[in-house]
Amino acid sequence: MNRVLLLRPAYAVLLAALLSGCAKPEFPPGGPIDTTPPRVVLTSPADSTMRVPAEAGIEILFSEPMDRVSVRDGLRIFPPPGTPSYHWNGRRFKVSWAEPLTPNTTYQAFLSAGARDVHGVTLGLPITIRFTTGDSLDPGKIRGVLRAKTLPMHAVPMWVFPDSLGLHPDLANAVPSYVTETDTAGAYALGGLPLKRGLTVHAAYVLNRGGSIDTLVASYPSVIRLTPERPVADSINIVAVDPRAPATVSGTVFAADSLARYRVEARSDSDTTFVRYVERKGPGDYRLGLPPGPYRLRAMRMPGTTGGPAAVIRRESILITNPESTYEHIDFRF
């Protein structure tokens, strides 16, 4: 099964800063509101260019003036050639390095979909430019879909690491080898990957929980090995589960007294002060949302409504709920 990890807050703050291009500033009053997404008009080198000179940099021409910080923070080059220098000339953005590019190496320049224009309108789709200093691009490809119930599936960063860091690398301190983002359907694709290497794939979330920033990582459960015989790995799908998302418990109260009030109650077995309950008049269906954990459930017929005696039915076994899970037909019969 896929593994979900919550990273420590300090790293979450750093990742949030890197992904801050997704935020939109308020447009000042006066004048029409710009809703047209900016476009990348051309790039140098163009995608799939071969035999790129070692001293070359990357230039991107946008269709309109851009928020320079969001472009700078949203651009990543893999593998990293060295310390970058950034230069702007109107709508033209250039990045270069003091060190030369490595011979016979495929590079990927990735620009986040969160890069925005000066009015705060984002690109909406990520831009990937693959080029090589050799005679051919690395043929490796990884494709898959990110699935989630309560978490977003669009514009989620997808990180790739070498398997030398283990199946679950220390993401707080390791730099990914490649990065992309999911599209509106949760699909992602990586190309230009080297063969004969093991890779691991991870989806990274920045979550704002009441002013506290957490980073959640969902990982593909095995190493992906691309070979000349199998250069493409399809259906590398990841299921992202928020470990703090509630479970749903539902069932039916069966009783002959249609005028009595009934309460279904779940009390945490690890913290008996935590209780969730739902009440209803007469028998019928109920539904409870419960944080993950162990619970003791009981149903009560409340006294006084029809003069009948109070009654309690307890569920003997402890119910252990998992995040985003559904537990049905937890019934009580009076």
pLDDT digits over 303-322, tens only? 865 556 789 999 999 999 99
Superfamily, domain 1-28+139-244 = Carboxypeptidase-like, regulatory domain (2.60.40.1120)
Q: How far apart are CA 193 and CA 177, in angstroms?
A: 10
Adjacent-strand bridge partners of 332: 253
What confidence score (pLDDT) does residue 61 get? 98
**Alpha-helical segments (H) within the chain:** 9-18, 68-74
What confidence score (pLDDT) does residue 29 get? 56
What confidence score (pLDDT) does residue 309 get? 74
CATH fold label, 34-137? Immunoglobulin-like (2.60.40)
Q: Which CATH number fits domain 247-333: 2.60.40.1120, 2.40.50.840, 2.60.40.10, 2.60.40.420?
A: 2.60.40.1120
Two domains, one topology: 1-28+139-244 and 34-137: yes
Q: Per mean pLDDT, which range of 24-28, 52-56, 87-91, 266-270 is the poorest?
A: 24-28
Q: How far apart are CA 202 and CA 223, in angstroms?
A: 11
Is 118 a residue whose pLDDT tops 50?
yes
What confidence score (pLDDT) does residue 105 get? 94
In this prediction, residues 45-69 reach a mean pLDDT of 96
The mean pLDDT of the chain is 89
Is 269 a residue whose pLDDT tops 50?
yes
Q: How far apart are CA 267 and CA 298, in angstroms?
A: 9
Is 149 a residue whose pLDDT tops 90?
yes
Q: What is the domain partition of the chain in residue ranges?
A: 1-28+139-244, 34-137, 247-333
Assign 21 a pLDDT band (cuts: 50, 70, 90): very low
Is 14 a residue whose pLDDT tops 50?
no
In this prediction, residues 189-196 reach a mean pLDDT of 93
What confidence score (pLDDT) does residue 127 get? 92
Is 30 a residue whose pLDDT tops 90?
no
In this prediction, residues 285-298 reach a mean pLDDT of 97
What confidence score (pLDDT) does residue 15 get? 52
Assign 9 a pLDDT band (cuts: 50, 70, 90): very low
Give CA torsion, residues 252, 256, 257, 260, to 10 deg: -20
What confidence score (pLDDT) does residue 175 get? 86
What confidence score (pLDDT) does residue 12 get? 46
User: Who contacts 95 (Cβ-Cβ below 8 Å, separation ≥6)?
Assistant: 57, 58, 75, 77, 84, 85, 86, 87
pLDDT digits over 213-262, tens only? 788 999 999 999 999 999 999 999 999 999 999 999 999 999 988 889 99
pTM of the model: 0.75
